[in-house]
Amino acid sequence: MENQIHTDLRYNVYIDSIKDEASKKLIIMFLANVIKHIQLEDIISGISSLPFKVVNAVTEETAVKLQERLGVRGAVVRLVQLVPGNVQNTGTQNLSFTVLQAESTQTASSAPHNDKNDTSVQPGVQTGKQEAQPKPHFLKRMWHSWVDVMFNAQEFFKGIDEEKQLHFPVIFALVWGTIALMLNMPTVLYTQQTYLKFLAGTMPEQLTLPVSTYASILFIAPFFLFITLFIMAGIYHLGALLVGAKGGFGSTLKVITYSTGAMVLEVIPFLGIPLFWFYTLYLYTVGFRELHKVSTARAFVISILPLIVLFLFIFIMAAIIIFGFGMSFLRQFRPQIPGIPI
């Protein structure tokens, strides 16, 4: 019997307060993505007159997940447990579906909620405000950001602020870029040794890298990565401006920095490099689309435009060299071949 009651538990989820305006924007974007059938104007109105009931009668798993996601974005979230016998079975609900129920704008903008007037609160259950959730630990935030970029890129780029807090994306790129380079070194060495064995028939004796090599990467890589990030962001932002992108340089920089997490794919022998390039192209396309508010086609153009320009530059330079070499060759035979206009 207890198992059945636990299974049927439902919760209302309230936002009681929000840290600042930047957090409010993140929360609005998150709720607009999760609660599909509520208009953006209704969410903004509800957030502007807290407390705001986010969802009604959801499962404990969904409520806790919402509390965690909203807390990370700067909200103080309160869960109100409903009496199991008075709650209609609303079926399984989670963040990936649009069946989450939310209060209307009129209810959201009403007077502050009073738990004493809520007859659905189970006696003996504490329904006071939750303590303000501490900011996630730096390493935990670094890990979760990488997981979201690699496995849920679209939702991740939708949920990040466009222009503010550029320090964390840059640090993210420096940390994961350096980690990737250190992890990839044995793979690069193994690949080189395998090719040498295939070509020469013998495997080199040195199968490991000295500690000094890793120490050099640890101290030098962040410096070169930092410079490379801003150069790449400048090049790609020029492409973004050419296709009519709406975001600023900060948006472009965030796409470049967070996409650096894909460098870890290079640790896979032989297939790692092509996987890295193709997945980075995907991350660029999704990131530019969400942060620059352009179509997928335009975002893809932004992603490949620098490569197209690079290939055109190489082609033009090669054509100039070949043409110059050909003209020099013909000049040698000018006395023997009359009529050559050179």
Q: Read off the pLDDT of residues 242-297 as tens digits, 9 standing for 90 and up.
A: 888 888 898 999 999 999 999 999 888 778 888 999 999 999 999 999 899 899 99
Instruction: For residue 340, give every residue at least 6 positions away whose Cβ sits within 8 Å of its Cβ, in sequence order, or none.
Output: 330, 333, 334
- Considering only the C-alpha atoms of the chain, give the largest distance between any 2 of them, rounded to a whole number of Å: 109
Would you call 16 helix, strand, or coil by DSSP? strand
242-267 burial by CB neighbour count: b if 16+ within 10 A, else e? ebebebebbbbbbbbbbbbbbbbbbb
Q: Read off the pLDDT of residues 78-133 as tens digits, 9 standing for 90 and up.
A: 988 887 654 444 433 444 333 333 333 333 333 344 443 343 333 333 333 343 44
What strand order describes the sheet that includes 75-81? 52-58, 11-18, 75-81
Instruction: For residue 196, give every residue at least 6 positions away whose Cβ sits within 8 Å of its Cβ, in sequence order, or none.
Output: 202, 203, 204
- The mean of the pLDDT values for the chain is 75
Length of the chain: 342
Q: In angstroms, rounded to a whole number, what is the distance separating the alpha carbons of residues 331 and 342? A: 7
Q: Read off the pLDDT of residues 297-314 as tens digits, 9 standing for 90 and up.
A: 999 999 998 888 878 888
52 backbone dihedrals φ, ψ, rounded to 5°: -125, 125
Backbone φ/ψ region at 171: left (φ over 0), alpha (ψ -120 to 50), beta: alpha
> What single-letter DSSP state applies at residue 312?
H
Q: In angstroms, rounded to a whole number, what is the distance separating the alpha carbons of residues 232 and 230? A: 5
The tokens describing 71, both together, are: 């807390």
38 backbone dihedrals φ, ψ, rounded to 5°: -100, 130
Q: Across the strands, what pairs with 273?
A: none
> pTM for the full model?
0.54
